[in-house]
Amino acid sequence: MSKENRRKERIDRGIKVRSDGLYALLSWREMAYLIAPRFILIAGLLALPLLMPGLYWQRVISIVCIYAMVAISFDFLAHYVGLVCLGGAFFIGVGGYIAGIFNAYFGMPPLVTIPLAAIAGGGFCTLLLLPCLPLRGVYFAIVTLMYPLFMARIIEAFDLFGGTDGILGIDSFSSAFVEQYFVVGILLVFLFGLRRLVNTDMGLIFTAIMDNDQAVRASGINITHYKALAVFIASAMGCLAGACLTHIYMWSGISQFALDFSILPIAATVIGGAGTLAGPVIGCLILVPISELLRDFGTLRIVFYASILVAFILFRSDGIMAFAKRKYEQIERWTQV
């Protein structure tokens, strides 16, 4: 076969076809084929805290999970609702500050402040983003990119909540073990919860809003209502992540609104695979440890992950997850044209 007149053919594996739908119950092998990827992800995430040597790397796992929550919320908003929100740091910061305020000023324990931060923070973020919901594309992206910067400047200018020093003396989790399993557990709940959500009727409306909002409107559905709902879901997740971050570092401050929290989750989503929900988690599992390993090189790590990001956008824009899925479900071979 000469190089010019051949092409790559992709065919579904037999077992993939057999395990579609009810036929999956035919044999253990088909069921194992379906369960294996999910099982590996769940078991892997649950085992990670045990496998890590030393407290430092266990802490890295918690940070991975926090970034992953923000990344999932970005992925959900961008690829299932069509709202590209570049302001992950906004959610992290709002959640972090709310948890910090309720813990340091009112003495509530972390188990109360974290859900409270998720609900109240979600409400707060949704309320602030409500006027921007009619915007589309670049405009929504830019306005959300500005929100975290704006909040940071407001806190600085009015010297709110400790000003540039931030809120100190916040309780940590009762132990490192509780901390890690709490964030890993929440992450898994969010991941599978969202996967379920996007397949419900509500998820269908979200996707329809992304594809053609005028058609959704013509069907008599209030799109602002649904967009606000989606933003609430995503921002509640981000705020919960921010609250966890506050309790892990026992501090909340302006740097939680830093661009890091907006960019790294997006990079993770691009690398892991946009629109797959599991992809961002994988992206975070790769990116965050790399960035920790390169900590000695100072700001060079930012250069490094920015270059990875650009390379993935250019050459592998569908991400690792789509690639892995293809390999798992299909066989490839060269055929004569």
Partner 1 sequence: MEILVYGTINSVSLALMGLGFAMVYGISRVPNFAHGALYIICGFVTWTLLQKLGLPYGLAIVLSLAANGILGILMYRLVLIRVRGMSISEIISSYAIGLAILEGLRYGGFRGMTYTLPVFMDGMVVIGGVPVDYHRIVMVIIGILLVAGLWLFTHFTKLGLALQGMAQDERAALMLGIDSDFMAMLAMGFGAILAGVAAITILPLGNIVVESGYHVLIMSIAVCIVGGLGSWMGAFFAAFIIGYAQILSVVFLGSHFQMVVALLAIILTLILKPSGLFGQQKELEDRV
| Binding site residues, partner 1, CB under 8 A | 78, 84, 86, 131-132, 134-139, 141-143, 146-147, 149-150, 153-154, 156-157, 213-214, 217, 223, 259, 263, 266-267, 270, 297-300, 302-303, 306-307, 309-310, 313-314, 317
Structure tokens at 247: 């309790």
- 């992540």: which residue's tokens? 241
Among 211, 205, 213, residue whose Cα is nearest residue 229: 205
DSSP 231: H
DSSP 168: -
Structure tokens at 100: 């910090």
- To 5 degrees, how large is the angle CA 110–CA 115–CA 119? 140
Among 315, 239, 321, 308, residue whose Cα is nearest residue 280: 321
- 């709002």: which residue's tokens? 94
287 vs 118: CA distance, rounded Å? 25
Identify residue 259 by its one-letter amino acid code: L
254 vs 239: CA distance, rounded Å? 15
Do 107 and 100 touch, CB atoms closer than 8 A?
Answer: no
SS3 label, residue 324 = helix
Give bridge partners of residue 12 from the DSSP assignment. Answer: 330
Backbone angles phi, psi at 333, to 5 degrees: -155, 155
Return the number of the residue (119 or 146) whose C-beta is nearest partner 1: 146
Give me the long-range contacts of 110-118 (CB less than 8 A, separation at least 24): 110/171, 110/172, 110/173, 110/247, 113/243, 113/247, 114/240, 114/243, 114/244, 114/247, 115/240, 117/239, 117/240, 117/242, 117/243, 118/236, 118/237, 118/239, 118/240, 118/243
Give bridge partners of residue 11 from the DSSP assignment. Answer: 331
